[in-house]
A and B are shown apart, each in its own frame.
Chain A
């Protein structure tokens, strides 16, 4: 060993270039693959557990019903998506404590439900439940 080192003194220094190449490739790979997926989301409340659904008195809740043809009914009054907020705020003015129940037919469009929940956020309703109607 000693003899060889003495003969070729240059071989003693390790060439770092190939390792540096590999490290750079790894670095670039991880920079490129760590593209952070961004998701903008809106919170939807799941239905409450079935035990205490009867506890809410009928008159203190605003019921928005969406049927399978995406027709929106707010406490029995037929409206469209642009009228939901006005109806919601009118009913809340009558009874400020009222909760909001969005009842959707299983075949209603998701987009309609999300839009109604968005309108409820706009109207600053904070007690909201989304349920589906007992369906055929």
Chain B
């Protein structure tokens, strides 16, 4: 409305009007970039205490997160999962995200037996020779 009034008032051919088209192009390109790069990672949704270590490696891009809480229960996508079901769930998540890294978030007070059994399953499913376990830099 304001624009229309101004055009009428200034009595010009519309040259004083700001051309929004280039900005719109840029905004659209940004929008498409963010839509394409947005990865919705399914978080396990449990709070864990990570072990503090010296050697860490940043995992990028992240794909699948599996958590073991301090009660040694396995969580994927905010649901408790039994050890037998984990392989199936990994295969399911791999369909959505074939390239992302798999990371195990193991609480430092969980039972090592659960982690080692889980690593065996991950090795069978994903063929990883070293399973990344989430840690904290000391």
Q: Give A contacts to B, CB under 8 Å.
A: 10, 16, 20, 23-24, 26-27, 30-31, 33-34, 36-47, 66, 104-115, 118, 121-122, 130-132, 135
Complex: A115 Cα to B53 Cα, angstroms: 6
Contact check, A115 vs B51: say whether CB atoms are below 8 A apart. yes
**Complex formed: what's the CA distance from A42 to B137 in Å?**
10
New contact pairs (6) apart from A30-B35, A38-B62, A45-B131, CB-CB < 8 Å: A36-B62, A41-B133, A43-B132, A46-B116, A105-B113, A106-B113
Map CB proximity to A onto B73-87 as digits: 1 under 8 Å, 0 otherwise: 000000000000000
A122 to B56, CA, bound (A): 11
Instruction: Report yes or no: A42 in contact with B110, Cβ–Cβ below 8 A.
Output: no
Which residues from chain A contact B55 at a C-beta distance below 8 Å?
42, 118, 121-122
Tell me the B94-138 residues at the A interface (CB within 8 Å): 103, 105-117, 119-120, 122-123, 128-137
Known: A44-B130, A104-B116, A111-B51. A39 touches B24 (CB 8 A): no
Interface hits, B31-57 → A, CB 8 Å:
31, 34-35, 37-41, 43, 51, 53-57
Q: Which of A26, A47, A122, A131 contacts B54 (CB 8 A)?
A: A122
The chain A residue with its CB closest to the CB of B38 is A34
